[in-house]
Amino acid sequence: MAIQWFPGHMTRARRQIEEKLKLIDVAIELLDARLPLSSRNPMIDQILQGKPRIVLLNKQDLADPKATAEWVEYFKDRGLDALPIDANSGAGVRELAPRCRALLADKIEAQRARGVNPRAIRALIVGIPNVGKSTLINRLAGRKVAITGDKPGVTKGQQWIKTAEGLDLLDTPGILWPKFEDQDVGVRLAATGAIRDEVLHAQDIVYHSLRYMAPRYAAELNDRYQLAIEPDKLDLDNPDEIVALMEGIGRKRGCLVSGGRVDLEKASQLFLRDLRDGKLGRITLEQPDLRG
Rounded to whole angstroms, the Cα distance separating 275 from 269 reads 10
Give the residue extent of every domain in the chain. 3-179, 201-276
Q: How confident is the model at residue 178 (pLDDT cuts 50, 70, 90)?
A: low
More confident residue, 78 or 19: 78
Angstrom distance (rounded) from CA 130 to CA 30: 10
Sheet holding 81-84, edge to edge: 81-84, 53-58, 26-32, 121-126, 167-171, 159-162
Give yes or no for a contact between 87 and 139, defined as CB atoms under 8 angstroms apart.
Answer: yes
Among 71-85, 177-191, 219-233, the range scoring the smallest mean pLDDT is 177-191
CA atoms within 13 A on the CB side of 193: 17
Q: What is the pLDDT of residues 242-256, one digit of tens each?
A: 999 999 999 999 999
The whole-number pLDDT of residue 154 equals 40
Class of domain 201-276: mainly alpha
The stretch 175-187 carries a mean pLDDT of 72
**Distance separating alpha carbons of residues 175 and 188, to the nearest angstrom:** 17
Residue 169's φ and ψ, nearest 5 degrees, are: -105, 140
Q: HEC string of 93-105?
A: HHHHHHHHHHHCH
Q: Does position 2 have pLDDT exceeding 90, yes or no?
A: no
pLDDT tens, residue by residue, 256-290: 998 889 999 999 999 999 999 999 999 999 999 86
Q: What superfamily in CATH does domain 3-179 come from?
A: P-loop containing nucleotide triphosphate hydrolases (3.40.50.300)
Give yes or no for a contact between 124 and 17, defined as CB atoms under 8 angstroms apart: yes
User: What average pLDDT score do residues 14-21 get?
Assistant: 78
Report the DSSP beta bridge partners of residue 169: 123, 161
Q: Distance between CA 74 and CA 173 in Å, rounded?
A: 27
Q: First vs last Cα of the chain: how many Å apart?
A: 28
Task: Give tens-digit pLDDT for 24-57.
Answer: 999 999 999 999 999 998 888 888 888 999 999 9
Q: Cα separation of 236 and 196, whole Å?
A: 27
Residue 149: the pLDDT is 45
Amino acid at 284: T
Q: Which position has the higher pLDDT, 173 or 144?
A: 144
Residue 74 and residue 70: Cα distance in Å, rounded? 6
Residue 16: Cβ within 10 Å count:
15
